[in-house]
Amino acid sequence: MTTSSTALALPVPDEELASRLRERMAVVERALSEHVRSRAPFITETASHLMEAGGKRFRPLLVLLAAEAGDRPESDEVVTAACVVELTHLASLYHDDVMDEADLRRGATTAHSRWGNHVAILTGDFLFSKSSELTAELGADAVRIQAQTFTRLVEGQILETVAPGPGEDPLAHYLDVVAGKTGSLIATSARYGARFGGATPDVEEALTAYGEIVGSAFQLSDDILDIASESDESGKVPGTDLREGVPTLPVLMARAAGDPADARLIELLDGDLTDDARHAEALDLLRKHPSLDQARAYVVARAQEAKGHLAALPAGAVRTALEAFADIVAVRST
Ligand code: FPP
Ligand code: MG
C-alpha cells in the first residue's frame, strides 16, 4: 500500500479527525522527501528509493494521532518528530534487508540487490544521521530518547541472531527481541507525539506503554504474514524468516506444542531451510499448522492489552482511532 495525501493506513471513523490527519500526513510526506536529499544526486536516489516505494507510514501516523491527545497537535515539532521516526525506521530497513538478504521490500528491489551491500548500509547510515540532525531540533531530551531507542533497536536486532541463553525460554527470548527491534520505535512514536503535541505526562506515559505493546504486536503479525501471505499481498518474499532460520512466533509455538505428528516439520525446521524444496515443504506445513491461529490469537490479546492503556485518555475520536490502530495492527494483512 502506498501513502498519499488522501489515504491513511488506518480507518478513522471521525471524518474531521481523518481529514486533519490526512493534511498533516501530506505535510510530513513533503518534509520527508526533502530530508532524504543529499548534495550528491546518487545518494538522493539511493536514500529516496525505499521511501518512494511506498510503505504504510504507521510510525509517523502514530506520532500525529498521539499528538491529538495534547493541546497543540498542530505544532511544527510534531511534524519533525514524525519525520524522525520514519527516517529511523527507513534507515533500519536498509540494514535489515542486508542482514536478511531480502530481494524485495515494499514491492521494490531492495537497495543492496540494486547497489550492493556497501551502498545499502551507508545509505542506512545516511538516513539515520539525517534523523539525528532533525532530532537535535527537538532538544536534548528528544535526543536522549532517540539514542535509547536506537540502542534498543540494535540490541533487538543483534539478539535475534543469537540463540537464547542457557535456561532462557526461547519464546521469552524472542519476545524480548521483538520488543527491542520494533516495540521500541513504535513506543517512541507514541511518546514523541504525546510530548510534542502537549499531552500531560500521565497521557505520555500511557501512550508510550500502548506504543510498546502495539509495536510488538505489529512485529508479531509481520511474523505471521511472513508465513501466511502471498508475496503480492505483502510486497516481500514470503518465508524469508524461515529461510534465514529466524524462529518467529508460529514456529516457536509449533515447537513448544511438542506434538508427535509434527515430527517432519521439526525435522525440516532443524535442518537447512535454504534448500528450496525443504523450505517449500516447511512453509506448507506451517501454513496448515494450528500454531498459526494460536499466534494470531496471541497477537489479538496483546492488542487488547495495549488498548487497556488508553483508559488514561478521555473517550472520543482520538481514543477510538488509537483503539482501531491497535486492532488493525493485530489483524493486518499487509
Ligand atoms: C525488521 O525486521 C527490522 C527491524 C524492525 C529493526 C531493524 C534494526 C536494525 C537493523 C538496527 C539498525 C538501526 C538503524 C536505525 C540503522 P524483520 O526482518 O523481521 O521484518 P521485515 O519482514 O520487514 O524485514
Ligand atoms: Mg527483514
How many whole angstroms from 308 Cα to the centroid of ligand 1? 27
Going 220 to 224 to 227 to 233, the CA torsion angle's sign is: negative
Domain formed by 1-199, architecture: Orthogonal Bundle (1.10)
User: How many A from CA of 161 to the centre of ligand 2?
Assistant: 12
Determine the straight-line distance between the first and last CA of the chain, rounded to whole angstroms: 8
Q: Which residues line ligand 1 (CB under 6 A)?
A: 88, 91-92, 95-96, 100, 102, 124, 128, 150, 153-154, 157, 181-182, 222, 226, 236
Whose Cα sits closest to atom 12 in ligand 1?
92
- Report which ligand 1 atom has the smallest distance to the Cα of 236: 22
Average pLDDT estimate for 237-250 = 86
Predicted pLDDT of residue 4: 41
Number of CB atoms found within 10 A of residue 310's CB: 22
Which atom belonging to ligand 1 lies closest to the Cα atom of 99? 10
The C-alpha cell that represents 118 in the structure block: 556497501
Which of 96, 110, 186 maximizes ligand 1 atoms within 8 Å of its Cβ, making it the mutation to test the pocket?
Answer: 96
Contact between 61 and 4 under an 8 Å Cβ cutoff? The reply is: no
- Residue 105, SS3? strand
19 CA distance to ligand 1 centroid (A)? 31
Say how many Å lie between the CA of residue 260 and the centre of ligand 1: 34
Place 234 in a pLDDT band, splitting at 50, 70 and 90: low
Name every residue whose Cβ is closer than 8 Å to that of residue 79 and which is 6 or more positions away in sequence.
24, 27, 28, 31
Choosing from 157, 218, 225, 233 the residue with most ligand 1 atoms within 8 A of its CB, the one to mutate for a pocket test is: 157
Which cell is 17 given?
479527525
Within 8 A by CB and 6+ apart from 308, the residues are none
CA distance 62 to 321: 10
pLDDT tens figures, 36-75: 999 999 999 999 999 999 899 999 999 999 999 999 999 9
Of 125-129, 258-262, 308-312, the least confident: 258-262
Interval 101-111: pLDDT, tens? 999 998 899 99
pLDDT of 154 reads 98
| Mean pLDDT in residue range 9-31 | 93
Residue 2 clears pLDDT 60, i.e. is over it: no
pLDDT for 229: 84
* Closest C-alpha to ligand 1, atom 17: 96
Q: What is the mean pLDDT of the chain?
A: 93
Closest residue (by CA) to atom 18 of ligand 1?
96
CB distance 334 to 58 below 8 Å: no
Q: Which neighbouring-strand residues pair with 7?
A: 4
User: Nearest ligand, CA of residue 239?
Assistant: 1
The tens digit of pLDDT for each residue in 263-303 reads 999 999 999 999 999 999 999 999 999 999 999 999 999 99
Please answer whether residues 171 and 252 qualify as being in contact, where contact means their C-beta atoms are separated by less than 8 angstroms.
yes
Element containing residue 322 per DSSP (H, E): helix 317-330
Does position 237 have pLDDT exceeding 90, yes or no?
A: no
Looking at the CA of 248, which ligand is closest?
1
Residue 132: count other Cβ atoms within 10 Å of its Cβ. Answer: 17
Residue with the smallest CA separation from ligand 1 atom 1 is 96
| 197-216 residue pLDDT tens | 999 999 999 999 999 999 99
SS3 state of residue 224: helix
List the one residue out of 265, 262, 188, 251 whose CA is nearest residue 220.
251
Nearest CA to ligand 1 atom 3: 96
Residue spans per domain, the chain: 1-199, 200-334
240 pLDDT higher than 90: no
1-199 and 200-334 agree in CATH topology: yes
Cell of 177: 527481541
What local confidence, expressed as pLDDT, does residue 1 receive?
Answer: 38
The answer, yes or no, to whether residue 233 has pLDDT greater than 70, is: no
> Which ligand is in closest contact with the Cα of 236?
1
Which CATH architecture fits 200-334? Orthogonal Bundle (1.10)
Residue among 105, 155, 181 whose CB has most ligand 1 atoms within 8 A, to mutate = 181
Q: Could you say which ligand is closest to the alpha carbon of residue 123?
A: 1
Cα(58) to ligand 2 centroid in Å equals 17
Q: What is the DSSP letter of 4?
A: B
Distance CA 308, CA 147 (A): 28
H or E element, residue 108: strand 108-109
Q: Residue 231: its pLDDT value, please? A: 64
Q: Which residue has the higher pLDDT, 331 or 68?
A: 68
In the prediction, which pLDDT does 195 show? 98
Among residues 44, 58, 35, 85, the alpha carbon closest in space to that of 195 is found at 85
Q: What is the pLDDT of residue 211?
A: 97
Which residue puts its alpha carbon closest to atom 4 of ligand 1?
Answer: 181
